[in-house]
């Protein structure tokens, strides 16, 4: 008889709270048949092998720059692969660790007067490529490229269901509400223009893996756009049906821009996280 992963874990760890078990799944500490599980609602058959990994040892110190996932670095820029769950940046009152703080620590350890600049962001629960500037000239160049939409930004996502059209263009005007969520509006003169292009690259019965290329880059743009066509991202509690908070299946997998010093084309590409799986 099949059961949900959460039910199986609750039976194995009867003293644990459901929220604790969900966090185990989100942290990638649960495997089914040696494949990282991605959702508390995932079906587990009686014949499946369920394994869990021990919690990493607790360290009172925050992550250090030595653990920074650097993809590329030179005198002007640093490209990092942000893990899911790490904030890109935040305000001075926020005590949680951020990728920006790690990059600054890493760069300023060798160049104390370096001016590390934040160019763009990823949602906390998204993973993938981000570029940072290491001097003011590089900052101005990269910011201008993003403003002019000449930067290539490609993402991959796992969505609920399979889009009827294998590819398409999504355009809307987005408005941020007081609670931080973003919604499309048809009110004249309201919102910011947002354009995304998607393409299905793999599909199964219950989900699909899609590639998304941004023409603009607005807060939560991909999440809102995919939800607007009836295919929210798996693991998105804000714009989809996933209330059990599995990992957000969204990753920035490709980033391309002109180098700020000499204009040569730079292109970086990574594989999405190991937990990116389409559900049959």
pLDDT at 236 over 80: yes
Residue 205, CA distances (Å) to 160, 161, 231 in order: 10, 7, 13
The average confidence (pLDDT) of the chain is 87
Task: Give residue 93's pLDDT.
Answer: 63
61-70, 83-92, 97-106: which is most confident: 97-106
pLDDT digits (tens, 9 = 90+) for 198-218: 999 999 888 999 999 999 999
Average pLDDT over residues 71-85: 94
Average pLDDT over residues 227-247: 85
pLDDT digits (tens, 9 = 90+) for 151-161: 999 999 999 99
- 126 contacts 252 by C-beta, under 8 angstroms: yes
Enumerate the CATH 3.10.290.10 domain ranges in the chain, comma separated. 3-52
Task: Give residue 59's pLDDT.
Answer: 40
Average pLDDT over residues 39-60: 71
pLDDT at 11 over 70: yes
CATH fold, domain 3-52, is: 3.10.290
Q: Which residue has the higher pLDDT, 145 or 38?
A: 145
Q: The tokens of 32 are what?
A: 């089914």
* Architecture of the domain delimited by 65-269: 2-Layer Sandwich (3.30)
Task: Give residue 39's pLDDT.
Answer: 79
Rg (CA), the chain: 20
Enumerate the CATH 3.30.2350.10 domain ranges in the chain, comma separated. 65-269
Catalytic center residues: 123
């Amino acid at each position: 008889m099949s059961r949900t992963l959460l039910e199986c874990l609750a039976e194995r760890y009867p003293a644990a709270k459901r929220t604790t078990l969900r966090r185990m799944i989100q942290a990638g500490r649960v495997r089914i048949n040696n494949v990282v599980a991605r959702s508390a609602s995932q079906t587990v058959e009686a014949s499946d092998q369920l394994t869990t990994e021990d919690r990493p040892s607790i360290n009172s110190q925050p992550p250090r720059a030595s653990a920074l996932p650097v993809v590329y670095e030179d005198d002007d820029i640093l490209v990092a692969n942000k893990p899911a769950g790490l904030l890109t940046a935040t305000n001075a009152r926020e005590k949680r660790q951020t990728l920006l703080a790690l990059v600054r620590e890493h760069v300023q350890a060798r160049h104390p007067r370096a001016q590390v600049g934040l160019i763009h962001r990823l949602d906390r629960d998204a993973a993938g490529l981000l570029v940072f500037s290491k001097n003011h000239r590089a900052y101005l160049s990269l910011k201008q490229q993003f403003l002019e939409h000449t930067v290539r930004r490609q993402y991959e996502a796992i969505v609920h269901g399979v889009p009827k059209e294998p590819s398409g263009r999504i355009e809307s005007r987005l408005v941020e509400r007081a609670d931080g969520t973003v919604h499309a509006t048809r009110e004249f003169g309201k919102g910011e223009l947002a354009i995304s292009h998607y393409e299905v690259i793999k599909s199964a019965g219950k989900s699909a893996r899609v590639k998304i290329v941004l023409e603009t880059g607005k807060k939560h743009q991909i999440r809102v756009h995919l939800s607007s066509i009836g295919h929210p991202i798996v693991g998105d509690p804000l714009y989809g049906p996933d209330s059990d908070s599995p990992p957000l299946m969204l990753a920035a997998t490709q980033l391309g821009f002109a180098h700020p010093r000499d204009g040569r084309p730079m292109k970086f590409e990574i594989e999405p996280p190991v937990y990116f799986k389409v559900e049959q």
